[in-house]
Amino acid sequence: MDADATLLARLRDGDEQAFTDLVERYHSPMLRLALSFVSSQAVAEEVVQDTWLAVLRGLGRFEERSSLRTWLFTILVNRARSTGVREARTVPVADAGPVVDASRFGPNGAWAVPPEHWAEDAENRVDAAKLSGLLRGGLDGLPVRQRDVVLLRDVEGMSSAEVCQVLAISEANQRVLLHRGRSKLRQVLESELGGGPR
Amino acid sequence: MSFLSGLLRFRAPAELPCQQVVEMVTDYLEGAMSAADRRRLDHHLDGCPGCTEYLAQIRETIRLAGRVTPDDLTPEMRTELTDLYRRWRNEG
């Protein structure tokens, strides 16, 4: 049995520790995700709590056609989205423009200020806690839909298919959001590790 | 095959500017690119240390993002969720 199936069996058996494990693992990313659909921390917390209750009540009906994680996040996003709609919260449209500032390139489109070398060296130069803090800050600074996609893909490690299902977006849209979000996170690291405008 | 299409087929691909490459990296990593575009990009990367580093930095960004751990729950949240679980247990 895989980890999901084991956890599911324990949950269905009424194992409180299994629920606690699930909550420790997913509550905070769910809260982050909910926050991008609703107006306040308090409302987001309510949405996540409602989601947990819906998950518990739905355990008997869950057919394992998707992973437990995908199911959790899908329930969450559906609830957060409908709550956001009731609140008439509008989401800003995607930003446009190049992902690397045009001033970094010459008139022929070749690098004028190429990236400095740090790709294999980041963890030797900056300690892990600081890198993690930088990335958290970077994620918080992303436009919400980009943040959702990067959070699910790169932080949670979901596949593009899972992310498209959870957020109900197309593969193409997912790629655009991922592209912009990742590019900005790279910039955050660059500003610490070297290269580009300070 | 006409003479013209034969000529076009063997024409060297136009040089890809770095400024365009940075906009293509996600499609490249996601495998969402035609074989022809992929070859063009690979060809560019072979000769461009700047774009090679850029792509490596994007890969490193993805790897480091995967190490970001979830925030700890506050004790209040833990209590509320344990209560919620016990309420649910008593529903059944």
Tokens of A24: 């420790």
pLDDT digits (tens, 9 = 90+) for A22-36: 999 999 999 999 999
**Residue B59 contacts A where some CB pair is shorter than 8 Å:** yes
Please tell me the distance from the alpha carbon of residue A71 to that of residue A55, in angstroms, as a whole number. Answer: 9
Q: Which residue of B has its CA nearest to A119?
A: B57
Q: Residues A17, A75: one domain?
A: yes
Please tell me the distance from the alpha carbon of residue A12 to that of residue A15, in angstroms, as a whole number. Answer: 7
Residues of A in contact with B78 (CB under 8 A): 20, 23
Of B17, B19, B61, the CB nearest to A185: B61
- Domain membership of residue B7 (yes or no) is no
CB A95 within 8 A of CB A59: no
The model carries a pTM of 0.89
| CATH number of the structural domain spanning residue B45 | 1.10.10.1320
- Domain membership of residue A104 (yes or no) is no
Q: Which residue of B has its CA nearest to A50?
A: B84
Check whether A127 has a pLDDT greater than 50.
Answer: yes
Check whether B2 has a pLDDT greater than 70.
Answer: no
- CB atoms under 10 Å from CB of B41, counted, come to 20
Check whether B1 has a pLDDT greater than 50.
Answer: no
Check whether A63 has a pLDDT greater than 60.
Answer: yes
| CATH number of the structural domain spanning residue A51 | 1.10.1740.10
Residue of B51, B59, B63, B68 for testing the chain A interface, max A β-carbons within 10 Å: B68
| CATH number of the structural domain spanning residue A133 | 1.10.10.10
Q: Provide the angle, in degrees to the nearest 10, between the axes of the packed helices A171-193 and A128-141.
A: 130
pLDDT digits (tens, 9 = 90+) for B51-87: 999 999 999 999 999 999 888 899 999 999 999 999 9
Of A115, A132, A136, the CB nearest to B57: A115
